[in-house]
Amino acid sequence: MTDDKKKLTTGRCPFSHEAIQNPYKLHAEVREEHAQDGEPAKIVWNEEIPAWMVLDYGLIKQIASDHETFSSANSIYGNDAPDDLPELAQPLIAMDGERHRKKRKELQEAFKTEEIDKWEPVAQKIASEQLEYLVNKANGTLEIIKEVAIPVPIKIICEVMGIEYDDQKIQRIKRHTDAAVAFLGSNGGRFTEYQNKFNAEDKVLLPLFIFEEIEKKKTNPDHKLLSRMLQAKGDIDEATEMYHKIEMIADISLMLFAGNVTTTNLIGQCVKYLAQMPEMQERVRQDYNLIPQVVEETLRLEAPGQASYRVATKDAEINGVKIKQGEQVYLSWGAAGRDPKKHADSDLFDLNRTNKSHLSFGIGKHYCIGAKLARMEAQITLEEMFNRFRSFSIPEGYKVEYNDFPLFRGPKELTLNYRLK
């Protein structure tokens, strides 16, 4: 073990149930544990991951922007990267270099501002219909995650892509993504567990469903993303077509995954804070222009994706710490938003905060291409709730539990009491 590791080693595991339920307590403890000259620790060696754990906003931004020195090849896997995953099945987030550039350019066309604006009426219709349906059958109590925060983003991303859906397909997509995020990034602790839970039927259902959708679009194309992806391939021979289908299944799986997990988390957290702060809730109800601020402050406080990995491609020195080639770096997006050197009273939700800067969608070449869509979905869902509810609150004594996922943070359930307008 190098001298830096000896001096900066922590054994606090970010994947324990306690840490997943409250990662910010662990961040504060690690900052204090290795503080120097009164300055909170910025980077430590976490032997439980094992990786260099980065907690400082500026250092995270620096490392995530240095794509030459720090590779994203295992960004969501950590040490759990499957050995048998073929290159063409690698998700965009785990690509580097020219292949990443080409793939990102191909996919991000559908997520430009002008494209997202086109989907806003569709998103509003989906959110409105979902809430109207629930209000008509509920009686003053609503479980917002299962009934709103899960189905609304899945329906919207399916609409964007041109994928047919029903309740059964929504459940299939959710089951597949939950099985994946339950192990991602846990560095050896959960890969076998994931493989055991994710049975043979689960493994083929989603890819088969996507394959069927691709075949439909070949004969009945439309203007939506899946058809546009097919059209971009042009006329190709049979062997090349199969290669592209496998690649498309990986791309579409990622978009279905990213299009619901993080947005579900974001919606759930926004609603939680509004429900816990009735004065702020009333202020927003009187002025919908504050809703984007609610979303940004929530993103700062509660990064939907809490962390991702990088690997050092060569020896490097960060903040005086020597990082060896091949060592992992654990970028804590969640810690960045609550960096006490970046934000005063960093653990408090403050709608009046002028600096709401965060890294919850990443930065640089790997900045989330769906960030605009996620923001739009969250804002519209909140608007539709305010359109119907005079007030909503969390029942007295109710404890919010979080999904036991290593890299993603959101309420498992969130029961609300509400009064209609």
Per-residue pLDDT tens digits for 76-124: 666 655 555 555 556 777 778 888 888 888 888 778 889 899 999 999 9
Q: Which residue has the higher pLDDT, 316 or 253?
A: 316
Arithmetic mean of pLDDT, 206-231 = 85
pLDDT at 86 (0 to 100)? 54
Amino acid 105: pLDDT: 85
3-state percent breakdown (helix, strand, coil) of the chain, nearest 5: 55, 10, 35
Tell me which residue has tokens 């997202």.
Answer: 116
pLDDT of residue 138: 75
Q: How far apart are the first and last CA of the chain?
A: 63
Interior/surface letters 266-305, b for 16+ CB within 10 angstroms, e for the rest: bbbbbbbbbbebeebbeebbeeeebbebbbbbbbbbbbbb
8 A C-beta contact, residue 78 and residue 328:
yes
Backbone phi, psi, residue 329, to 5°: -125, 130
Q: How many domains does the chain have?
A: 1
CATH number of the domain enclosing 148:
1.10.630.10
Sheet holding 389-393, edge to edge: 141-143, 415-420, 389-393
Task: Specify the pLDDT at position 4.
Answer: 73
pLDDT digits (tens, 9 = 90+) for 164-218: 899 988 988 888 777 777 766 655 555 455 555 555 555 566 778 888 888 889 8
Q: How do residues 5-48 score in pLDDT, each as one tens digit?
A: 878 999 999 988 899 999 999 999 999 999 988 899 999 999 98
Give all strands (DSSP E) within 47-190, no chain letters: 51-54, 70-71, 141-143
- Whole-prediction pTM: 0.92
The average confidence (pLDDT) of the chain is: 88
User: Regarding beta strands 321-323 and 316-318, do their DSSP bridges make them parallel or antiparallel, or are they unpaired?
Assistant: antiparallel
Range of the domain at 211: 3-420
